[in-house]
């Protein structure tokens, strides 16, 4: 009769070996990323004349006050003037962003007229300014 101690072990338990490999892999990943971030080089310098201007387009602000007056940035304009000025700005900068700021006491029709002008000009980056909730 064979006892339990005489049982032959045919299969190998690989769990401790997998744990060891995962720890080694983790150490390798940490050391590799630390080595890449710590590399210092002397970067070449370029002349100031050859660097192009990299400016984002200036955001245009359209304000409608509670009397129905329309202002483009700080200048009072009519709807016809607004359309011509925005068309010129759009021709110079195709992706110009516009923020529409309407007074809470202003008529909704004034804001809709401005949005209609923006649609005719073809400006698609439009933001409506609001106050954060209190």
| Span 76-130, pLDDT tens digits | 888 888 889 888 888 888 888 888 888 777 777 888 888 888 888 888 888 877 7
Q: Flag whether 97 is in a domain.
A: yes
> Which residue matches tokens 């029709």?
109
Q: How far apart are the first and last CA of the chain?
A: 84
Q: Flag whether 51 is in a domain.
A: no
Q: Flag whether 78 is in a domain.
A: yes
Q: Flag whether 110 is in a domain.
A: yes
Q: Flag whether 36 is in a domain.
A: no
Q: Which residues pair with 101 in a beta bridge?
A: 63
Q: Flag whether 15 is in a domain.
A: no
Give 129's contacts (C-beta < 8 A, 6+ positions apart). 99, 100, 101
Domain that holds residue 65: 60-128
- Tell me how crowded residue 90 is: count the other CB atoms within 10 A of its CB: 17
- Tell me how crowded residue 92 is: count the other CB atoms within 10 A of its CB: 9
Q: Flag whether 39 is in a domain.
A: no
| Per-residue confidence band for 22, with pLDDT thresholds at 50, 70 and 90 | very high
- Least trusted range by pLDDT, from 11-20, 32-41, 100-109: 32-41
CATH number for the domain including 121? 3.30.420.270
Number of domains in the chain: 1
Answer for the pair 23, 17: CB distance below 8 angstroms, yes or no. no
Q: Which residues pair with 100 in a beta bridge?
A: 62, 128
The Cα 30–Cα 117 span in angstroms is 56
pTM of the complete model: 0.55
């Amino acid at each position: 009769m064979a006892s339990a101690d005489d049982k032959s072990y045919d299969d190998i338990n690989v769990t401790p070996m997998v744990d060891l490999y995962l720890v080694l892999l983790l150490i390798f990943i940490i050391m590799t990323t630390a080595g890449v971030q710590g590399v210092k080089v002397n970067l070449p310098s370029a002349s100031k004349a050859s660097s192009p201007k990299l400016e984002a387009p200036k955001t245009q602000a359209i304000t409608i006050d509670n009397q129905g007056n329309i202002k483009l940035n700080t200048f009072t304009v009519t709807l016809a003037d607004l359309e011509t000025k925005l068309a010129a700005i759009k021709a110079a900068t195709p992706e110009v962003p516009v923020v529409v700021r309407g007074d809470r006491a202003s008529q909704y029709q004034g804001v809709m007229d401005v949005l209609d002008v923006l649609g005719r000009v073809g400006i698609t980056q439009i933001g409506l300014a609001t106050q954060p909730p209190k």
